[in-house]
Amino acid sequence: MTASRDATGRSLEDYPRPSLAVDTAVLTIKDRALCVLLVRAVDVDDATAWRLPGTFLHPGETLADAVTRSLRDKAGVTGLHPEQLHVFDDPSRDDRGWVLSVAHLEVVRADRIPATAENRLVSASEVPDLPFDHRDIIDFAVEALRRRYESTPDPSDLVDPAEPDGSFTLRELRQTHEAVAGRPLPPDTFRRTMQGSLVDTGRLSLGRRGKPATLFRRLPG
């Protein structure tokens, strides 16, 4: 079969092509801090061994398939469905050659991430030196998550409610948003911002320290 040629007479094979990779920023909250999942590179034992879970795209594979494979094989994490975040295309981003990375983002509770010797959660504000542009990917992912949390109550279900129906107190909600924001949030301002998207359950928190507080749920939709 003759290869199709464009107006310049060149076929697809005549053009230089980059390698295509996927990298995933998995964000969570641990010990009231926003954290990112890092994995240890295989056969590497130096200061830059830790990095985001990622891989090159295999023939016949979709980006989603590659992300799923990298999380399973390199981090031991399954059952996640990261979303595409941004394409990092600086020609010099990878010293091995011309590599584009389609970065992905997933946000889950920490209990969805199994602890192994090959992965660890680190504070997003204290990320160590990483290879390639993985620090840039993390910063991009964190800012994207923070924008989501500015006016919407816990859109990624990071609150770990003590109530079986998933309800939470305003304090629990604010602590989650503070972890995402990386700074304290004025309680009164936070309440005014969020209250229009919350439903008062008419119940109080019981069996916890301090004075019982009203329990809320997010509005559906």
Q: What is the pLDDT of residue 160?
A: 84
Q: Read off φ and ψ for residue 202, nearest 5 degrees.
A: 80, 10
Q: What is the pLDDT of residue 3?
A: 64
Q: What is the pTM of this model?
A: 0.90
Structure tokens at 11: 């076929």
Predicted confidence band of residue 193 (pLDDT cuts 50, 70, 90): very high
Q: What is the pLDDT of residue 187?
A: 96
Rounded mean pLDDT of 31-55?
Answer: 85
Q: 82-116, pLDDT tens digit by residue?
A: 999 999 999 999 888 999 999 999 999 999 999 88
Amino acid at 202: G
Q: 201-221, pLDDT tens digit by residue?
A: 999 988 667 788 999 999 986
Q: What is the pLDDT of residue 8?
A: 66
Q: What percent of the chain has pLDDT above 70? A: 89
Domains of the chain: 16-149 (3.90.79.10), 151-221 (1.10.10.10)
DSSP 121-142: EEETTS----STTHHHHHHHHH
Task: Report the alpha-carbon distance of residue 127 to residue 90 in Å, rounded.
Answer: 21
Task: Report the alpha-carbon distance of residue 120 to residue 219 in Å, rounded.
Answer: 34
Task: Report the alpha-carbon distance of residue 102 to residue 67 in Å, rounded.
Answer: 10
Q: What is the pLDDT of residue 11?
A: 60
Cα 29 to Cα 6, 34, 124, 140: the distances in Å are: 51, 5, 10, 17
Predicted confidence band of residue 122 (pLDDT cuts 50, 70, 90): very high
Predicted confidence band of residue 35 (pLDDT cuts 50, 70, 90): very high
Residues in CB range of 190: below 8 A, 6 or more apart: 170, 174, 177
Task: Report the alpha-carbon distance of residue 130 to residue 49 in Å, rounded.
Answer: 8
